[in-house]
């Protein structure tokens, strides 16, 4: 069987976990690329990939699949700098949490390089190769935005890679739809977590917290440079979602302040019913919205 | 050894779990009190207590410990209606999530009845006896507000009961301090969860959610009559906490909207550092704030 190669650029939490999870995938050799000596040594010690390099640009002409796992600015720089070094016919992926800006940047690639935007809906509240874990993707969603020239062969290959990494499903969508929904399901959760942690009460409340507090604030210790990029690059979709939350909190607060139990009870009933409906849909396994079809 | 009796009034999620967790505690018989035939049958089937009754008032004169597990209005009504039926020298507890209003209501009791406000920081996103679980309290905080005449004997008994139920610790505080911190650590988390679920995006986002979304919205399917009472009875403490969150969200939104990465990055750094500090304190086991001493 012909020997093929996957190059994973950046071995942080996601890149390191992907390299580990892809071990043994078909006839592919996994090559990892790092920038720091510290990450290099950790990657070698943990055997995160079959080979580790400091020079991804030298690997590009031989790489059948390239997975870009840097931060958004790193991905965009890399695409621009190396746009003519990718192997013709190769599949290039990224894994970052915004897609419109990345797919725009990828339009600099030659037509015979197939760029597919990806977003594994997996993470941890800690980052870096130290926390890389081959099981990170188990039962999570793998969001996929095909490019204008993506081939069925590449989409099928991506599907097999996702299965090997134990993703729960592969959800195909558009960059715009992705960025709008992620603003709500992911970015807003991070803004809530940091906003809650900004309170003076935070460091007084030890002993008074339950599961809901630990859950809501879990992601607050975030990677600041990464999330600064993610939030600002998706400001267009994120701002209206934050505004909507501000308004809704304001409405709840007015109902509580006025002691209007009837209004408050009616508002809580609607929200609780919506959450129950969502839970029921999940239990039934209707986890994929009809407008987003899994890959064939 | 003398035979003693604990009466648990109300066998919902918390009361049912407490009755189960207290099985085998020293020389105490556990009696449970219910209002509906449906709960009665479930309680008998699951042997939630050694005896189940529809008439808690008849048990009061013989109960050495009474644990009131109704909703706030139910507890306040019960105290008022039966204030002269409690056994002299008995210890009376409640388990609801607000304390100032409950301790005020308990001031109607005779001086020889020792009322101690309690709040187990445990829960589930579902309610009722069907979800009662003897392990619900494992490693959670048990908040305790002694009354003006609480005896060392009763506080020591409460400590032993908490250990039997496998609480992680017992944290003594005041009603005012409890209500202020709970507004932040618990009530605000529930208002956030319902506010997020009020968004139009909720039922479109299946396939796009990760752990942070599931965690943050987990408690949104709340018990509406209960939380309507909890929120309005604690409006004094809760409103400023919601206002503070509204303001903080607004500040993050302005930084994102303006594209001011420097300001946004500085804000995120402060919040992330605060969360890391909290995590470190937890790892070191400094979980009890110096101002709140565990019971002796």
pLDDT score at B1: 59
pLDDT, average across residues A208-225: 93
pLDDT(A192) > 80: yes
Does residue B291 carry a pLDDT above 50? no
Q: What are phi and psi of A267, to 5 degrees?
A: -65, -45
A73 touches chain B (CB under 8 A): no
Chain A touched by B135 (CB under 8 Å): no
Quick one: DSSP state of residue A42?
H
Kindly determine whether residue B186 and residue A267, on different chains, have CB atoms separated by under 8 Å: no
Contact B185 A205 (CB under 8 A): yes
Quickly state the pLDDT bin for A286 (edges 50, 70, 90): low
pLDDT tens, position by position, B9-61? 999 999 999 999 999 999 999 999 999 999 999 999 999 999 999 999 999 99
- In this predicted model, what pLDDT tens digit does every residue of B267-281 receive, in sequence order? 999 999 999 998 888
The burial of B128, by beta-carbon neighbours within 10 Å (0-12 exposed, 13-18 middle, 19 or more buried), is given as: middle
Q: Which of B126, B120, B156 is nearest to B139 (CA)?
A: B120
Q: How far is B228 from chain A (nearest CA, A)?
A: 6
pLDDT of residue A294: 42
**CB-CB under 8 Å, B231 with A276:** no
Structure tokens at A293: 């079809």
Q: B92-124 pLDDT, tens per residue?
A: 999 999 999 999 999 999 999 999 999 999 988
- Is B72 in a helix, a strand, or coil? helix
Question: What SS3 class is residue B102?
Answer: helix
Residue B78 token pair: 């019960």
SS3 content of chain B, % helix, strand, coil (to 5): 50, 15, 35
Summarised one tens digit per residue, pLDDT across range A220-259 is 999 999 999 999 999 999 999 999 999 999 999 999 999 9
Task: Report CB contact under 8 Å: B193, A257.
Answer: no
Tokens representing B153 are 């004997």
Of B90, B88, B240, residue with least CA distance to B179: B240
The pLDDT score that the predictor gives to residue A71 is: 96
DSSP string, A163-225: HHTT-SEEEE--HHHHHHHHIIIIIHHHHHHHHHHTSTTGGG-TTS--HHHHHHHGGGS--HH
pLDDT greater than 90 at residue A64: yes
The predicted structure's pLDDT at residue B293 = 39
Please, what is the average pLDDT of chain A?
Answer: 94
> Per mean pLDDT, which range of A34-38, A132-136, A207-211, B15-19 is the poorest?
A207-211
ipTM of the complex: 0.90
What secondary structure does DSSP assign to A246-277, as a single string? Answer: HHHHHHHHHHHHTT-HHHHHHHHHHHHHHHHH
Q: State the pLDDT at residue B149.
A: 87
> What's the pTM?
0.91
Q: Which of A121, A195, A289 sits opposite B249 (nearest CB)?
A: A195
- State mean pLDDT over A134-152: 95
Q: Is A138 on the interface with B (CB under 8 A)?
A: no
Do B259 and A189 make contact, defined as CB atoms within 8 angstroms?
Answer: no
Q: Give the nearest chain A residue to B205 (CA atoms).
A: A181
Percent above pLDDT 70 for chain B: 96
Report the candidate in A80, A87, A72 with the shortest Cα–Cα distance to residue A31: A87
Would you state the pLDDT for residue A79? 98
Among A278-287, B197-206, B207-216, the minimum mean pLDDT is found in A278-287
Test B246 with A250 for CB contact under 8 angstroms: yes
Please, which pLDDT band fits residue A201 given cuts at 50, 70 and 90? very high
**Which of A207, A264, A288 is facing B171, going by the closest CB pair?**
A207
CB contact under 8 Å between B242 and A222, yes or no, is no
């Amino acid at each position: 069987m012909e020997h093929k190669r996957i190059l994973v650029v950046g071995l942080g939490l996601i890149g390191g976990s992907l390299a580990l999870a892809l071990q043994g995938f078909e006839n592919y050799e996994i090559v990892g690329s790092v920038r720091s000596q510290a990450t290099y040594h950790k990657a070698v010690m943990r055997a995160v990939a079959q080979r580790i390099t400091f020079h991804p640009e030298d690997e590009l002409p031989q790489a059948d699949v390239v997975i870009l796992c840097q931060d958004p600015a790193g991905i965009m720089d890399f695409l621009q700098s190396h746009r003519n070094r990718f192997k013709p016919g190769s599949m290039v992926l990224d894994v970052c949490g915004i897609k419109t800006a990345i797919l725009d940047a990828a339009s600099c690639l030659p037509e015979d390089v197939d760029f597919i935007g990806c977003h594994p809906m997996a993470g941890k509240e800690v980052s870096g190769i130290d926390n890389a874990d081959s099981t990170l993707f188990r039962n999570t969603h793998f969001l996929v935005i095909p490019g204008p020239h993506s081939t069925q062969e590449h989409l099928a290959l991506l599907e097999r890679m996702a299965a090997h990494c134990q993703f729960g499903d592969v959800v195909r969508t558009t960059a715009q739809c992705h960025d709008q929904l992620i603003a709500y399901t992911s970015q807003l959760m991070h803004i809530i977590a940091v906003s809650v942690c900004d309170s003076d009460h935070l460091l007084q409340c030890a002993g008074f917290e339950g599961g809901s507090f630990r859950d809501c604030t879990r992601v607050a210790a975030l990677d600041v440079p990464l999330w600064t990029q993610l939030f600002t690059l998706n400001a267009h979709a994120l701002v209206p979602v934050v505004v909507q939350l501000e308004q809704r909190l304001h409405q709840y607060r007015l109902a509580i302040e006025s002691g209007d139990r009837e209004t408050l009870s009616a508002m809580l009933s609607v929200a609780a019913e919506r959450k129950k409906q969502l839970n029921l849909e999940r239990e039934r396994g209707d986890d994929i919205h009809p407008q987003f079809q899994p890959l064939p």
